Copies of this chain bind each other. A is one copy, B any other.
Amino acid sequence: MFAPAVDEVYPGGEPQVRIHAGPMGERYEGATRPGHFDGVLTVVGKLLHLTRPGAALFGQKDAQQLALIRRMVTDLNFPVEIVAAPTVREPDGLALSSRNRYLSAAERDRALALSRALFAGRDARDGGPEAVRKAAEASLADADGIALDYLALIDPADFTEAAADHTGPAVLAVAATVGRTRLIDNIPLDFAAGEPEKPPESGAAA
């Protein structure tokens, strides 16, 4: 295990030269935490230099962090492969998070609306981006007792809202407060190129 002392990670004290996340760090999770992703990327950059791995794993659960680290690696030509570690879920769908322990039993139950909305969106994938958005929104509209921050279908390349004709990888992401606990969750999707599949003609499935 690499467990460096403070002096090894911060030989010059608090960094003056830092990595700046840019516009991708100002949206979604960055909107409520100014400078947060600058700090994340600066520390990740330091650790990559200290350990020089061939590959580094980051959790899909923090989708914006993962997207920004990928972007940093591309934009600054870091010689490392970034690998996404899939989100682990409870059998009922709740994404594992250290924050789940702050949830009462009733709040935990209400929190299931988040993953349920993501699964509803995923199940509508063959209908294209708009169908995914609508299915997830419809699912969340039935949820009680959660304060939604955002539900968005996002292009992970630049962490902007995916266009209606988006193809390739996307992230359906949600953030909400349940009781006093803010939760985030997301599900990666892939939209094939070409026309979204049309609903079957009436009678075609008969």
Contact = CB atoms under 8 A, between A and B. Distances in A.
Interface in A22-60: 22-24, 38, 41-42, 45-46, 49-50, 52
B12 A17 contact: no
A19 B76 contact: yes
A18 B22 contact: yes
A16 interface: yes
Interface residues of A, number: 31
A11 B77 contact: yes
Nearest to A37: B17
A22 B11 contact: no
Contacts of A78: 49
B12 A71 contact: yes
A21 B18 CA distance: 7
Interface string A162-199: 00000000000000000000000000000000000000
A76 B47 CA distance: 8
Interface in A42-101: 42, 45-46, 49-50, 52, 68, 71-72, 74-79
Number of copies: 2
A20 interface: yes
A158 B94 CA distance: 48
A103 interface: no
14 contacts: A12-B74, A12-B75, A15-B22, A16-B24, A17-B19, A17-B71, A17-B72, A17-B76, A18-B76, A19-B20, A19-B76, A45-B76, A49-B76, A52-B79
A18 B41 CA distance: 10
A159 to B, nearest CB: 10
**Most central of A18, A24, A72, A75 by chain B CB within 10 Å:** A75
Contacts of A52: 79
